[in-house]
Amino acid sequence: MAVARAEQGTKLVDPQALARLKGVSLRARVVVDGILQGLHRSPHQGASIEFAEHKEYAPGDEIKHVDWKAFGRLDKYYVKKFEHETNLQALMVIDGSASMGYGAEGALSKYEYASVVATTLGYLLLKQQDSVGLMRFDETVGEVLPPRSRMTHLAAMADLLEKSRVRGGTRIEVALEGVVMHLKKRGLVILFSDFFGEDERAFSTLRNLVGRGHEVTVLQVLDGDELEFPFNEMTLFEGLESDQKLLVEPQIVRREYLTKMKEHQARIRQKTLDSQASYVLVDTRLPPGELVLKLLRDRRSTEVGRR
């Protein structure tokens, strides 16, 4: 099976290898296994998620709760976290519009990629006693699974993502308004979308969400074809969220297309940051495990910075 390395000792499964597997649950399980096995071999395990159920010792923590086995391996003091310390609510918000159905030949579609990452994150959060929920949207809010802290809830999430089909247009503001309704206490919101169809109202709602105390990470999910426009021969492009068709000579439009795509990315990034949310550009050619590790490291750095 093809793998990629995110860091020394960490083997992460290539998206094309994942595309040959069937089912969200299986794909996510393979990604989780790759992360955990790699971190087990890594000399830097303690910096990532092997100790998701632990935290570094701080003055005031009970000495009796120190994990001495962890100290023996890592030469750092860790104490076990208890349920009352891990009451985070997380909501995965996934764009299920038609444009998310695009994927280069032999690769995961943007929707499939987002589903694998969301399920992998869900597993890791549940392992540390947090609660995880799921919301799908297109032009309206679709299925919603409220946050739960039971591992069996992950199967329901994976099943919903597996059975759902991409359709319709994109209205991100509707999804974010739905988050305000369904996530009553402060929590972690991870939004997966290509942002084709965004408008100013979406970012006004995003600012409102952050203002309510939610920690929001925006993942702009794009396929490698969309990022690089690698087409060479005369190509018929068909709209995924419209009936438009356009026969194009790629070499003539490539420069203008790439310019507009970069402007689109920059606009979404800046509007997200202006809303005080975190932004990550996601290339679906990146191993999902590598993205998950980045998100976990970024969040850990944010938590450390707040102390």
All structural domains of the chain, each given as residue ranges with its CATH number in brackets, are 3-50+86-302 (3.40.50.410), 54-81 (no CATH)
- Rounded to whole angstroms, how far apart are CA atoms 95 and 110? 9
170-to-109, 139, 253, 277 alpha-carbon distances in Å: 16, 5, 25, 20
Higher pLDDT, 12 or 147: 147
292-to-25, 32, 121, 305 alpha-carbon distances in Å: 16, 9, 7, 20
Tell me, what's the pLDDT at 9? 41
Mean pLDDT, range 76-98, rounded to an integer: 75
Mean pLDDT, range 222-231, rounded to an integer: 90
Q: Flag whether pLDDT at 305 surpasses 70.
A: no
CA 237 to chain CA mean position, Å: 28
pLDDT tens-digit readout, 235-262: 677 766 667 777 777 788 889 989 999 9
Mean pLDDT, range 168-193, rounded to an integer: 91
Instruction: Out of 28-37, 70-79, 104-113, pick the least confident.
Output: 70-79
Nearest partner of 291 among 50, 88, 28, judged by Cα: 28
Tell me, what's the pLDDT at 201? 86
Q: Is the whole-model pTM more than 0.85?
A: no
Mean pLDDT, range 89-94, rounded to an integer: 96
Nearest partner of 256 among 216, 229, 275, 225, judged by Cα: 229
* DSSP-based three-state secondary structure for 92: strand
CB neighbour class for 164 (10 Å; exposed up to 12, middle 13-18, buried from 19)? middle
Q: Flag whether pLDDT at 292 surpasses 70.
A: yes
Mean pLDDT, range 119-131, rounded to an integer: 91
What is the residue-averaged pLDDT of the chain? 82
Structure tokens at 106: 């032999």
pLDDT tens-digit readout, 23-43: 999 999 999 988 887 555 444
Per-residue pLDDT band at 183 (split at 50, 70, 90)? confident
Per-residue pLDDT band at 13 (split at 50, 70, 90)? confident
Mean pLDDT, range 100-113, rounded to an integer: 94
Higher pLDDT, 248 or 211: 211
CA 171 to chain CA mean position, Å: 19
Nearest partner of 57 among 66, 46, 49, judged by Cα: 66
Taking 3-state DSSP, the helix, strand and coil percentages for the chain, each rounded to the nearest 5, stand at: 45, 20, 30
The total of other beta-carbon atoms located within 10 Å of residue 82's CB is 10
Instruction: Out of 14-18, 149-153, 183-187, 241-245, pick the least confident.
Output: 241-245
